[in-house]
Amino acid sequence: MVKVKVGVNGYGVIGKRVADAVSLQRDMELVGISDVASDYRVQVAVKRGYPIYASMEEAAPEMRKAGIKIAGTLDDLLKKVDVIVDATPKGIGAKNKALYEGAGVKATFQGGEKHELVQASFVAQCNYKRALGKDFVRIVSCNTTGLCRVLGAVKQAHGIKRARAVLFRRATDPWESHKSGIINTAVPETHVPSHQGPDAQTVIPDLNIVTLAAKGPYNLSHLHFAMVELPKRVKAEAVIKTLRRTPRILLIRAADGLLGLNSVIELMRDLGRPRADMWEVALWEDIASIEGDELYLVYQVHNEAIVIPENIDAIRAMTELERDPMRSIRKTDEALGIAR
Amino acid sequence: MVKVKVGVNGYGVIGKRVADAVSLQRDMELVGISDVASDYRVQVAVKRGYPIYASMEEAAPEMRKAGIKIAGTLDDLLKKVDVIVDATPKGIGAKNKALYEGAGVKATFQGGEKHELVQASFVAQCNYKRALGKDFVRIVSCNTTGLCRVLGAVKQAHGIKRARAVLFRRATDPWESHKSGIINTAVPETHVPSHQGPDAQTVIPDLNIVTLAAKGPYNLSHLHFAMVELPKRVKAEAVIKTLRRTPRILLIRAADGLLGLNSVIELMRDLGRPRADMWEVALWEDIASIEGDELYLVYQVHNEAIVIPENIDAIRAMTELERDPMRSIRKTDEALGIAR
C-alpha cells in the first residue's frame, strides 16, 4: 500500500494528538515530529519512538542537552514528507508557509491561522471535496468545527433559515492550567458576532449564523447552545435521526447521568479513550427540542480533540489518497476507534 | 409621616438585605426579623439592633442558648406589622401564606414560590400598578427580574418580535460555597425553555421569549446573552439611550476594564456598596450591537441583590404608600444609594 509520509510541526495540544492519530492510519506514515521544546511532552514523543526534529536550529543544543536525540532540523524533515501538519502556535503557521512552499510540501494549518492563508478551510463532513488536491488547507478551530458538524448536518437535511449560537468556552487547556486560566468569574467576548460565526461561513458559505461567546473557569470542553430557525416545521425526532446518522456526533442523554461537561469527559475516560479525548461532538438528545419552527440544541465540544480526525481527513483529501469523503471519514474513525 | 410596619421572615441571602433596605426607607419601619438560626448571620442582626423573632417556637431555646434575645415568635411579629417579607427557602413561603392570611398581614414572596400563590408577580418598572393594594405579591427571581428590566424597557420603547436569551448562571451563593457548588465544569439545564422565560411572562404576558440556561463554577453573578428580534430597524445608540434612562440598569464598558463578572463586583466593592451588592443590572454598552433587525445585549445580574429594591417597591405598592411607580423607584433608589 502506498503510504503518505506525514510530519508534524509543533508538538503541543493538537500536534501530539495528530501524531498519534497519523501513526494509527494504515495509509499514512509518521516520519517525525518537530518542536523547539525539550520538556516532558517531547520526552514522551521520544518514548513513543517518534523521530524528533528541531523546528529551529537554535533549539537543537538545548534539546540534545535534555537527552533528546535529534534526527535533524525542520528543513530535513520537510525533505522526507509529503504533508506537514502545522500545529504551531497561532500566527507561526503563516510564517512557516513559505518554508513549506519552498520545500514543495503540502500543509494543513490549524484554526488560529487565517482563512486567507489557505486554499480551503475544512471540516471533513461539510466540504471534503474542496480540499481535493490542494496544497494548503486550514482545519477550522474546535468551536467552528463543532458548529459546522451540527449545523451543517441540520442545514443539509432540513435547511436553516437563521442560526444563533451562544458558546460557553473553557478558559484554558489542562496542560497550561497552572499558569493561565480564570477562577470564579465568566468573561464575555467584547465583540458581536464572536469570530466563530463568520469562521463557520468559511466552510459553509451560505450558513446564516450569528455567535456570541464567553469563557468560564474550567478547562474540560466548550458548551454550545444553538437556536436554529428552520424553514419549515419538523419534529425533534426527525432532527435527532439526522444527527444520529451524521458522522462524529455522539448522542448522549442527561437521563444517563451525563449532566455536565465533566460527566461526558469521565465517560471518555471510562471508555479508555487516549487522554480521555472526545473526537465527536456530544449532543444531548434529551435536551434537543423544537418549539414552533425553532430548534434548540445543546452540545459539548472537546477543544483538545475534535479537530484531530479532521487533520487526518484533510491529509487524505489533499493527497487524493481517497476522493470519497465518507470513505475517508470511515477509515479515520475506524483507526481511532470512533464507534457510530 | 406614616410609616409602614414591616417584618422579614427568613434572614438569609435575601432577607438580611431586605431588612437593611427597609430600615433605610423613611416611610418604613423594620419591626423585626424572624428566623430559626442562631449562627453568625442572626448574630449580626442582633448587633444591628433588629428585634429577633423565632419563626418556629421549637427554635427559640436554641437561639436563646446562643445568646440571642428573642422578642417573641413569628405569630407575635405578625401582630405588629402591616407587611411581612417572606424570604424563607423555596416552598416554605407557600406554607406560610395561611399564617399571614390569618393574621391579616400582607406579604411579599420571593421567586422560589409559584405565580399561582399570589395576586401579582412583580418587577417595579414593569408592572408596579398591578400590585397596588394587593395582599400577596411575588418578587420574581433574580434572572427573571434581570430579563424583565432589560427586555421590558426594550419592548416598551422599540417593541420585541422575539427574544432569545442564554443564561450562564452562578452555581451557588458565596455564603454556602463551602458546602455546595461545582468546580471545573458547566451544567446545562435539561429542559428547553428554562423556567425563566415563562416566568418573565408572568410579569410581561405578551413578551415572546425563550430562554436556555446552564450553570458554571462561580458564585459572583449570572451572565445573560440576549438576542432580540426587533419589529423594525433602529440604531444601537437608540437602544442604549433607552436603557440609559431606564431605572436600575447600569451601563458599563469593557473599555473601562470591566471585562468579567469579577471586575463588575470589584467596582461595587470600590464604590463602598454594602456586601458589594449590585442592585442594578450591569449592561455592557460597548458590547451591545445591532445587526439587521436583531439586537444583541450582554449583561450581568447580581443574584443576591437585584430583587432587594423590588421588595421595597412592592411594599409601597401593596400598602398604597405610593401609587406612582417612578416615585417609589426614586425613593427606594435614593435611600439605597443607587445613582442614575
Tell me the mean pLDDT in the region A37-43: 95
Nearest to B184 among A212, A214, A219 (CB): A219
Bridge partner list, A284: A252
Mutant choice from A225, A227, A256 vs B, greatest count of B C-beta within 10 A: A225
Q: Are B93 and B86 in contact (CB under 8 A)?
A: yes
Bridge partner list, A225: A166, A298
Residues from chain B that touch A284, judged by Cβ atoms under 8 A, are 188, 190
- Give the C-alpha separation, B129 to B324, whole Å: 8
A284–B190: do the CB atoms touch at under 8 Å?
yes
Q: Does any CB of chain B come closer than 8 Å to the CB of residue A229? A: no
pLDDT tens, position by position, for chain B (340 residues)? 789 999 999 999 999 999 999 999 999 999 999 999 999 999 999 999 999 999 999 999 999 999 999 999 999 999 999 999 999 999 999 999 999 999 999 999 999 999 999 999 999 999 999 999 999 999 999 999 999 999 999 999 999 999 999 999 999 999 999 999 999 999 999 999 999 999 999 999 999 999 999 999 999 999 999 999 999 999 999 999 999 999 999 999 999 999 999 999 999 999 999 999 999 999 999 999 999 999 999 999 999 999 999 999 999 999 999 999 999 999 999 999 997 6
A287–B187: do the CB atoms touch at under 8 Å?
no
Residues from chain A that touch B189, judged by Cβ atoms under 8 A, are 287
- Which positions of B are catalytic? 142
Using CA atoms, how far residue A19 sits from A9, A57, A331, in Å, is: 10, 22, 16
- Give the C-alpha separation, B177 to B91, whole Å: 22
Chain A's closest residue to B295, CA to CA, is A192
Ramachandran class of A276: left when φ > 0, alpha when ψ lies in -120 to 50, beta otherwise: left
Q: Does any CB of chain A come closer than 8 Å to the CB of residue B253? A: no
Mutant choice from B185, B269, B289 vs A, greatest count of A C-beta within 10 A: B185
pLDDT in tens, A83-130: 999 999 999 999 999 999 999 999 999 999 999 999 999 999 999 999
Q: Are A176 and A147 in contact (CB under 8 A)?
A: no
CA distance A42 to chain B (A): 27
Chain B's closest residue to A228, CA to CA, is B164
Q: Are A128 and A325 in contact (CB under 8 A)?
A: yes
Chain A's closest residue to B219, CA to CA, is A184
- Give the C-alpha separation, B4 to B22, whole Å: 10
- B-contacting residues in A 47-76 (Cβ below 8 Å): none
Helices (DSSP H) in B109-260: which residue ranges? 124-127, 142-158, 196-200, 236-244
Chain B's closest residue to A169, CA to CA, is B186
Provide, rounded to the nearest whole percent, the portion of chain A with pLDDT above 90. 99
Mutant choice from B164, B170, B184 vs A, greatest count of A C-beta within 10 A: B184
Looking at residue A2, what is its pLDDT? 82
User: What pTM does this model have?
Assistant: 0.96
A210–B291: do the CB atoms touch at under 8 Å?
yes
| Phi then psi dihedrals of residue B5, to 5 deg | -90, 125
Chain A's closest residue to B189, CA to CA, is A287
Q: If DSSP states are collapsed to H, E and C, what string results for chain A?
A: CCCEEEEEECCCHHHHHHHHHHHHCCCEEEEEEEECCCCHHHHHHHHCCCCEEECCHHHHHHHHHCCCCEEEEHHHHHHHCCEEEECCCCCHHHHHHHHHHHHCCEEEECCCCCHHHCCEEECHHHHHHHHCCCCEEEECCHHHHHHHHHHHHHHHHHCCCEEEEEEEEECCCHHHCCCCCCCCCCEECCCCCCCHHHHHCCCCCCCCEEEEEEEECCCCCEEEEEEEECCCCCCHHHHHHHHHCCCCEEEECHHHCCCCHHHHHHHHHHCCCHHHCCCCEEEECCCCEEECCEEEEEEEECCCCCCHHHHHHHHHHHHCCCCCHHHHHHHHHHHHCCCC
B216–A217: do the CB atoms touch at under 8 Å?
yes
Looking at residue A340, what is its pLDDT? 63
pLDDT in tens, B67-83: 999 999 999 999 999 99
ipTM of the complex: 0.94
Looking at residue B154, what is its pLDDT? 98
Q: Which residues, in sequence order, are CB contacts of A221 under 8 Å at separation 6+?
A: A170, A261, A264, A265, A278, A300, A301, A302, A303
Mean pLDDT, chain A, as a whole number? 97
CA distance B188 to chain A (A): 7
List domains and CATH numbers for chain A. Answer: 4-140+307-336 (3.40.50.720), 142-301 (3.30.360.10)
Tell me the mean pLDDT in the region A252-266: 98
Nearest to B240 by CA among B309, B290, B301, B168: B290
A260–B185: do the CB atoms touch at under 8 Å?
yes
Residues from chain B that touch A227, judged by Cβ atoms under 8 A, are 164, 210, 212, 227
Q: Does any CB of chain B come closer than 8 Å to the CB of residue A240? A: no
Nearest to B188 among A188, A191, A287 (CB): A287
- B-contacting residues in A 269-308 (Cβ below 8 Å): 284, 286-287, 289, 291, 294, 296, 298
CA distance A14 to chain B (A): 21
Q: Does any CB of chain A come closer than 8 Å to the CB of residue B182? A: yes
Q: Does any CB of chain A come closer than 8 Å to the CB of residue B188? A: yes
B173: three-class secondary structure by DSSP: coil
Count of CB contacts below 8 A, A vs B? 124
CA distance A253 to chain B (A): 9
Q: Does any CB of chain A come closer than 8 Å to the CB of residue B193? A: yes
Polymer length in residues for chain B: 340
B317: three-class secondary structure by DSSP: helix
Looking at residue B340, what is its pLDDT? 63
- Give the C-alpha separation, A203 to B179, whole Å: 46
- Which positions of A are catalytic? 142
CA distance B154 to chain A (A): 18
Nearest to A223 among B214, B223, B262 (CB): B214
Residues from chain A that touch B254, judged by Cβ atoms under 8 A, are 190
Nearest to B192 among A193, A218, A289 (CB): A289
Q: Does any CB of chain B come closer than 8 Å to the CB of residue A258? A: no
